[in-house]
Each structure stands twice: as structure tokens, then as C-alpha cells.
Chain A
């Protein structure tokens, strides 16, 4: 290992461990300057954690408002300690926060927290994900009646659809709009959530169970005709085609489907 590599290794270890006091790194540093070297080295070690906590807080400001600054910052500090950044772009540093919250005590006993983090992450991802043309209702006007059954759909790249087991979306909305925050609830039936970008704005709403099922199947290339058949086994069969058509109109109007 070169001398430079050795120095960098020591310096990095020192920043990551954050231990104060005299050690090997201190001995490498010139102490001719006015301020004590331990104090000046502290600028690096202190700034490291504070900066990463700030990144996590910026990405999850509603979760921070929900948890309270103190609990959030303690949690973020634990996240930073267990997750050294490996991305050159700080934009993706907090990506593993939902998983961390879902797996780590005591946060995992409040499952709404991981789900709120998951919502925020999906919205942040929708915000700057790749651009793609959107399929419009008008685009379907030209489809001949006999071709409808074979019609297939492609989700816009901003879309993510996942299930929540708590009322995380209701909590998130209340926090965001400064309303009374509902008590956390665990649901017997999971509640699907869809996040996407409409024009340039990240959006979120619930899907009902049938809509979620159809979205999931449609996203993996199942054609319109088959979706109608699936819908018929789900609920009143004679209305199935109309229901699928109305879901489809909703998706098209919201810009959830790509060209």
C-alpha cells in the first residue's frame, strides 16, 4: 500500500469511527497552527455525521415531522453509523432507510414509519426518474374494436405500486398538510398505493384491490381482453369490461401509462 493510500485509510477510519482524542491520525498532523489539532480534526469528524443526517432529513422531512426531530435524528444517526455512503451522488444515500426502519429495533415495532419512508422514497424517485412520453386517451381513439382485446400497456417509468399494511398514506398526508395526524392503524387487508409523476409533479393515491390486481397484471403485458376476464372473476361479471375501461381511463388521464 502506498503511503498516500495508508494516510487516506487512517483518515477515513477515523472519520467513520468518530472517536475523539489522541490517536494515530493526530500524530500525522502538523500542530504548528493556532488552534489545537484535535479541535481542527474535529471539523471533519463532526461534519461527517451531521452532513449525512441532514441528507436523510431533507429526503424525509415529513417522517421527521411525524417522528419528532429528536427521535428522527437519533434514528438517522444510527442509520448513518450502519450505512457508510457508497454512492458518489448524495441523492441516493437515504435509499435504504425504509428497509432499515422495517428491520431495526425499536423502529420496526412502529411499521407505519417504514411505510412513510417508503412513500417518500417512491415520491423522490418519481420526481427525477427518466422521462418518457405518456399515452393519452385520444391515442386509443384510433384502435379498431377488434384490436381492443389484444391491447397492451406499459407503465410510465415513474410508477411504483406497493402495498401498505398501515394507514401510512393517511398519516403522511396529514403531516404534509399540517392537519391532525391520525393514530397508527394496522389493516387486516393490505392497502395498495400507487406513486407516479404527472407532468412534473410526483403524485400518490390508493388503489382499490381490483384496480391494483389489474394494474399489476396489465404492467406485465397481460392484454386488455384478458384483464376484462380477470375482472369478471373478481366482481360482477357483466360490468367487468366497463370497470376495466374506467380504470384504464383513470390511468391514462393521470399519465401513468407510457406511449
Chain B
């Protein structure tokens, strides 16, 4: 056990750990409604106009800093909105050591924010203490499954809650893969209790990049394991697509969203935009489209809307 790990575990001994071992919250998170990624460009609009967004997704690393305005602004957003934490550096699939300093900071941010859940990506970002700051592809093998499962268990033990993992866009596939991506995701979720964040743009991008039907992907993911959808835009390079998150959501991805709603029911949905960030009202309009699509398709289950949020009824579905 590394020194930092032991220190982190000792620190926890009094709080979340019982003598029987870690108490992990495996309860399925409640439906939150329709959210957006939190962007500093939009702070003033959020603070002044309290826009009709049910929740915000917060990029964990942006707030894993000691203090100052980032955390001040975040605390202010948190007063009015539920949040979920979304990280990019967990590197759950890496064969390098788990970074316990990173996990300690992640956990203390979670204590501050009380997010509805904590997500990251099913990928690796580097080995040998290098971080390539990218979401890198894995071979879908039994070996990888065993390795990643054991890391998910360790992280869930430490955080005291089930993780949420997102499928990433990939541009290459390893020849030695033994199963399709959806089967790998399904197996991982079953064996560890982690939930899934299904990025429908990534499903669409991968289907195009690797030449399969996106619907097969959806059908291969267990219907009860998905707690969040990402909708996003991409760049079309002709023969392949790049997951750039700098465009509005395309029609094909909205179509996939309809199919996903049929299969998965009401799932917390958000628009992901990381570049060429438009004014907040444009994203709210895009989000309202998703809200309408879901409202039309799932009439039997009332979805919380902006009004509900202001009345404080969020998560009551």
C-alpha cells in the first residue's frame, strides 16, 4: 500500500468505513431531469436569471483547486441547483497506479458539493505517471475487464458510492478485442455495480467510425443500468467523425435519443458543449428540445420541468 493510500484510508477510518468494511451506496440515483454543463462563461446569466435548467454537470478537475473564485462561484450555483460531478482524469482503465492524491481531492470536492453522482470515463489517460489528457481506447478483452473491475471496486470502496462511467468516442479498435463495446460496458456494470452514463453522440460516432449499427449498441446495454445521457455535437471528417463537442446536437443523435428513451425510459439528460460555447439561452433552447422529445415519448411519466425545479420538486419522480 502506498503511503498516500494508507494516509487516505486512515483518514477515512472514522467516518465512512464500518468494521465490516466500506459502506458503499449502490442505490440507483433518482431522475434529475434536464441539465447542462456548467461553464464559467454563463455564471452571470445563471446568477441573474436563474435559468430553467434542472441541474448542472460540473467538470470535477476545474474545481479541484485550493480556493478563490472557482469554488466561490460553484458554491453559489450549488445553492440553487443540484449538480453531478464529471471527471476526466480518473484513468480507471490504466495499468498504472491509481492516483490516491487525485482521489482524495475528488472525494473532498464531493463532500463539499454533495453531487447526485460522480462520473468519469471508461478509458485510460496514461501510464507511468504520465497524463496524456485524452480519453484513450481499450481492448475489450476478459483481461481488461478483470483489471478495470478491480480498480472500480477500489475506487467505489474509497468514495463510498457507486461510480458512473461513460462510454467514450474511439477512433481505433484493437484487433484482440473479444467482445463488442456494449457487452464490455454491460459486464463491467454488472460485475461492479457501477452505473452507466451513456453518451449518445459517442455511440453514434463509434458506430460510424467502426462500421456498426448504433441501435445494436443501445440494445446491448442493460436497460436498468443507465442513469445519465450525454447529447453532444461532433465534427464530420468524411470517413470518420471526431467527438469535438463544438457543434449543436445533430438530427441523427436526436433520433438515437428517441430510441434510447424507448429502451431506457426517463434518464437524466444533458447537452454537452465544451468548445465554441454559445450564449446560455441557445443551450437552454437545445435542452428544451430534448425535454419536449422526452415529454412526447414518455407521456405516462411526468417529467420535472423548469417550473418543478423552481418549486423545489426535483428528483421526486
Contact = CB atoms under 8 A, between A and B. Distances in A.
Interface of A: 2-5, 7-9, 11-12, 15-16, 28-30, 32-37, 39-41, 43-44, 47-48, 51-52, 55, 84-91, 93, 126-131, 157-158, 197, 200
B89 A131 contact: no
Size range of the chain B interface in the assembly: 35 or more
Nearest to A200: B69
Given A4-B147, A30-B172, A34-B211, 20 more contacts: A3-B143, A4-B139, A7-B139, A15-B134, A29-B174, A30-B210, A33-B173, A33-B209, A36-B239, A51-B133, A51-B134, A85-B133, A88-B102, A88-B131, A89-B64, A89-B65, A91-B61, A128-B69, A130-B66, A200-B68
B65 A30 contact: no
- 8 closest pairs, A vs B, by CB? A35-B239, A131-B67, A5-B95, A88-B89, A130-B66, A128-B65, A128-B68, A40-B171
B68 A28 contact: no
Interface in B33-55: none
Interface string B173-205: 111110000000000000000000000000000
B124 interface: yes
B132 interface: yes
B260 interface: no
B72 interface: yes
23 contacts: A2-B143, A3-B143, A3-B176, A8-B124, A8-B127, A9-B128, A12-B128, A12-B132, A30-B210, A32-B211, A33-B240, A34-B211, A34-B240, A40-B172, A48-B132, A84-B130, A85-B126, A88-B91, A88-B125, A89-B64, A89-B89, A128-B69, A130-B66
Interface in B157-175: 171-175
Nearest to A90: B133
Contacts of A85: 126, 130-133
Interface string B108-136: 00000000000000001111111111101
A32 B72 CA distance: 50
Nearest to A40: B171
A11 B102 CA distance: 23
A60 B132 CA distance: 20
B130 A52 contact: no
Contacts of B141: 3-4
A130 B177 CA distance: 46
Interface of B: 61-62, 64-72, 89, 91, 94-95, 99, 102, 124-134, 136, 138-139, 141, 143-144, 147, 171-177, 208-211, 237-240, 242
A30 B95 contact: no
B134 A129 contact: no
Contact of A88 (B66, B71, B99): B99
B61 A41 contact: no
A30 B173 contact: yes
A89 B61 contact: yes
Contacts, number: 144
Q: In this complex, which of A5, A51, A52, A157 has the most chain B Cβ atoms within 10 angstroms of its Cβ?
A: A5
A199 to B, nearest CB: 9
Contacts of A91: 61-62, 64-65
A11 B123 CA distance: 13
A90 to B, nearest CB: 6
Contacts of B132: 12, 15-16, 48, 84-85
Nearest to B64: A89
Which of A11, A41, A52 has most B Cβ within 10 Å?
A11
Which one of A28, A89, A129 has the greatest number of beta carbons of chain B within 10 Å? A89
A176 B105 CA distance: 33
A8 B133 CA distance: 14
A36 B134 CA distance: 21
Nearest to A129: B66
A12 B133 CA distance: 11
Contact of B127 (A9, A41, A157, A197): A9
B66 A128 contact: yes
B69 A8 contact: no
A48 to B, nearest CB: 6
Contacts of B125: 88
Contacts of A51: 133-134
A40 B210 CA distance: 10
A4 B142 CA distance: 10
Nearest to A51: B133
The residue among A2, A7, A126 with the most chain B CB atoms within 10 A of its own CB is: A7
Given A35-B209, A41-B171, A16 B176 contact: no
Given A40-B171, A47-B134, A128 B127 contact: no
A22 to B, nearest CB: 14
Q: Which of A15, A34, A88, A200 is the most central at the interface, judged by chain B CB atoms within 10 Å of its CB? A: A88
A4 B124 CA distance: 11
Contact of B240 (A9, A39, A126, A158): A39
B17 to A, nearest CB: 24
A86 B129 contact: yes
A29 B209 CA distance: 13
A43 B240 CA distance: 10
